[in-house]
């Protein structure tokens, strides 16, 4: 009997078995990965958060950790208690702690537990030689600073380095750690006391667990720059306490920032520009924010915008731009918001330097959404939007790359700062006026309703805001006017308006037409020019004669001499090369025809280095 072998069927069966086997392996790998991710992210459970604090307090009672806030956190009459779990993962814990009924601080750490890993401790046994232990500790400090900050501190002595990293009043063994190292060698070279060795071992392990955390090291090293990063209030073991900041993505803050009101947007934009400027120029090297978003920024009680989360903030040459293998495109060399450069000839990433900058990311990710066209006043509209556009998408290119743009110019930052400073000073805004910390977000208060109109089939009211001049009056939709007090003001306005109409009807005469708009702003005097405003007509019955400007006559603009506000539109006084006369031209036209002249004009008349701060009187 002849046996027929169907090789096609056998081959198909083997192929099906292989596919099923590969599918099972992939499913297990994916399931394992998802379990790991779930374990890393974790759920912010209050019970688990309290267990972490209890474990820390147990170590404190055993004398294995120390810190200036341990007694406030762990004693029977503890003044710092867990209020809310904000974030809890294997790589970071963030807990909201209450100090009393109205004051809060934040407990942070890079890891959950103090000594679960072998590398968590610097000394596993009590130290035998105090000078030798201190020498090891100082070497660790220098290597840590070089790894986190890109440079080692060579101009400071050992004891001054301790003072720089940790406040002297929070050091328990200050007699040893803050004394000159040469004197310590002489005094403790042949001296050993067991209790002193145990105490010093505990404190050195505690300080080691803190200084290996990037966020703590950055905030405490630059604690004099308290307006940039959260203030460190103390520590206990591997955890540390910071001031409480309200994230800028808080719903109550976003509600105000993304409304149609201009002043809060100008205030926040100015603060963000100041923050970027400080990170670029006030530290030992530029600090690159590789995850620039509102959730990583917070506002303090006194109105300072600070870096809430600095885990992804790096100094020069420390940004992890290199991929594990060769790069194929520029995005392979980028790390979130920090853009790198791929050399397509060698297929290697460029030096560990960032191509874009913080200002460019700020404009691209935040300001383009925050500064909406319809909310910017006409006097700033065209110029400010052009600055934001150039800032978010600079015209220059990196070398011969058509894809990668260079960072935004600091010149644009200065120009925008000057414009916004002027806006805030004219509205008498101080640094604390728009403090939006915690739940108490300050809201604008309506003083009275001035007028109403219909626009795009929608009823709008002209609002006079309490504490602001008439120049800051804004048109608001009727849906934005809510609340009992606002309803009373609205009813009062409607009653007054109805009464006026009734008087007109009873008199039997028509009201005289008001040719001026109720929100028409008084024209400002021209800057740096003694020219008076030109009349539009000679008599009331004469129509205004349109005089062609230099652009319409084919002239070339030579210089911008001044600026003024005409009927709510920004006008620029332009000098022409082919004529000795100057014309008032709408700023939107000049911005399109010769933007460089506009920038030069603002730069020449913007003495930002001599401008007073918002806290000073104007």
Sequence-separated (6 or more) residues with CB below 8 Å from residue 439: 252
Q: Which of 303, 408, 395, 307 is nearest to 354 (CA)?
A: 408
Domain 446-505, second-level architecture = Beta Barrel (2.40)
Q: Per-residue pLDDT for 533 more than 50?
A: no
Report pLDDT for 393. Answer: 84
Domain boundaries, the chain: 9-41, 47-244, 251-312+363-426, 446-505, 557-610
pLDDT tens for each residue of 406-432? 678 888 898 898 888 888 887 777 554
Out of 194-203, 359-368, 435-444, pick the least confident.
435-444
Place of tokens 């058509």: 402
Please report the pLDDT score of residue 172 as a whole number.
86
The CATH class given to the 557-610 domain equals mainly beta
Q: Is the pLDDT of residue 450 over 70?
A: yes
Amino acid 38: pLDDT: 36
* Residue 328 neighbours by CB under 8 Å, 6+ apart: 342, 347
* pLDDT of 111 strictly over 80: yes
CB 490 within 8 A of CB 449: yes
Let me know if the fold of 251-312+363-426 is the same as that of 446-505.
Answer: no
- Tokens describing residue 148: 């986190």
Bridge partners for 196 per DSSP? none
pLDDT per position as a tens digit, 226-263: 789 999 999 999 999 999 999 998 888 888 787 888 88
Between 306 and 552, residue with greater pLDDT:
306
Q: Check residue 432 and give its pLDDT.
A: 46
Distance between CA atoms of residues 266 and 434, nearest Å: 11
Neighbours of 385 (CB within 10 A): 18
Question: Read out DSSP for 312-338?
Answer: TEEETT-S----SS--SSGGGG-BTTB
Task: Looking at mean pLDDT, say which of 166-170, 415-419, 470-474, 502-506 comes out highest.
Answer: 415-419
Who wins on pLDDT, 536 or 561? 561
Is the pLDDT assigned to residue 307 strictly greater than 90?
yes
| Mean pLDDT comparison of 138-152, 314-328, 459-473, highest-scoring range | 138-152
Helix (H, G, I), strand (E, B) or coil at 440: coil
Q: What does DSSP assign to residue 397? A: B
Neighbours of 459 (CB within 10 A): 12
**In angstroms, rounded to a whole number, what is the distance separating the alpha carbons of residues 599 and 273?**
18
**What pLDDT does residue 531 have?**
34
Q: What is the mean pLDDT of the chain?
A: 77
pLDDT band at 201 (very low <50, low <70, confident <90, very high): very high
Asked whether the predicted pLDDT for residue 353 surpasses 80, the reply is no
Q: Which CATH class is domain 251-312+363-426?
A: mainly alpha
Query: Distance between CA 272 and CA 262 in Å, rounded?
Result: 16
What Cα–Cα distance (Å) separates residue 373 from each residue in 16, 336, 382, 386, 594? 60, 28, 9, 11, 21
Q: What is the pTM of this model?
A: 0.64
For residues 483 and 95, the model is more confident at 95
The span from the CA of 105 to the CA of 81, in Å, is 10
């Amino acid at each position: 009997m002849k046996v027929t072998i169907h090789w096609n069927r056998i081959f198909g069966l083997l192929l099906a078995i292989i596919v099923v086997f590969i599918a099972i392996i992939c499913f297990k790998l994916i399931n394992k990965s998802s379990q790991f991710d779930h374990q890393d992210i974790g759920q912010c459970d209050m019970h688990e958060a309290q267990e972490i604090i209890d474990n820390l307090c147990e170590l404190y009672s055993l004398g294995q950790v120390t810190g200036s806030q341990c007694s406030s956190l762990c004693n029977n009459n503890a003044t710092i208690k867990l209020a809310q779990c904000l974030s809890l993962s294997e790589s970071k814990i963030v807990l909201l702690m209450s100090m009393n009924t109205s004051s809060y601080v934040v407990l942070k750490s890079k890891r959950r537990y103090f000594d679960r890993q072998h590398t968590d401790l610097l000394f596993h046994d009590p130290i035998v030689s105090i000078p030798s232990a201190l020498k090891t500790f100082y070497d660790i400090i220098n290597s840590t600073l070089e790894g986190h900050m890109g440079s080692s501190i060579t101009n400071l002595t050992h004891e001054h380095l301790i003072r720089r990293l940790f406040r002297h009043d929070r050091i328990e063994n200050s007699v040893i750690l803050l004394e000159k190292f040469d004197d310590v060698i002489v005094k403790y070279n042949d001296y050993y006391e067991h209790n002193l060795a145990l105490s010093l071992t505990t404190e050195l392990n505690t300080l080691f667990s803190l200084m290996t955390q990037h966020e703590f090291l950055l905030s405490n090293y630059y604690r004099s720059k308290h307006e940039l990063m959260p203030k460190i209030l103390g520590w206990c073991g591997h955890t540390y306490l910071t001031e409480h900041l309200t994230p800028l993505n808080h719903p109550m803050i976003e509600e105000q920032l993304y409304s149609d009101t201009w002043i809060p947007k100008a205030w926040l934009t100015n603060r963000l520009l100041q923050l970027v400027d400080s990170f670029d120029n006030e530290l030992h090297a530029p600090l690159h924010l590789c995850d620039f978003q509102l959730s990583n920024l917070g506002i303090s009680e006194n109105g300072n915008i600070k870096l809430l989360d600095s885990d992804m903030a790096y100094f020069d040459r420390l940004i992890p731009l290199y991929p594990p293998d060769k790069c194929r495109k520029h995005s392979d060399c980028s790390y979130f918001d920090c853009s790198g450069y791929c050399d397509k000839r060698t297929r290697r990433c460029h030096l560990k330097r960032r191509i874009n900058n913080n200002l460019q990311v700020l404009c691209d990710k935040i300001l383009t959404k925050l500064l909406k066209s319809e909310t910017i006043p006409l006097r700033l509209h065209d110029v400010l939007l052009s600055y934001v556009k150039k800032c978010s998408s600079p015209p220059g290119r990196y070398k011969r790359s058509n894809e990668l743009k260079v960072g935004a110019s600091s010149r644009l930052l200065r120009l925008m700062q000057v414009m916004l400073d002027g806006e805030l000073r004219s509205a008498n805004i101080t640094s604390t006026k728009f403090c939006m910390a915690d739940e108490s977000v300050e809201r604008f208060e309506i003083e009275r309703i001035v007028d109403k109109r219909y626009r795009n089939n929608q009823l709008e009211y002209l609002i006079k805001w309490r504490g602001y001049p008439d120049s800051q009056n804004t048109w608001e939709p009727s849906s934005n006017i809510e609340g009992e007090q606002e309803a009373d003001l609205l009813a009062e306005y409607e009653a007054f308006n109805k009464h006026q109409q009734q008087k007109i009807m009873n008199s039997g005469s028509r009201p005289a037409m008001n040719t001026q708009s109720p929100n028409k702003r008084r024209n400002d005097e021209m800057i740096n020019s003694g020219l008076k405003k030109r009349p539009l007509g000679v008599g009331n019955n004469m129509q205004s004669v349109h005089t062609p400007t230099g652009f319409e006559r084919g002239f070339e603009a030579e210089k911008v001499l001044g600026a003024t506000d005409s009927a709510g539109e920004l006008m620029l006084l332009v000098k022409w090369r082919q004529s000795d006369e100057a014309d008032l031209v709408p700023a939107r036209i000049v911005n399109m025809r010769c933007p460089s002249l506009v920038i030069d004009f603002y730069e020449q008349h913007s003495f930002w280095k001599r401008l007073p701060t918002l806290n000073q009187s104007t």
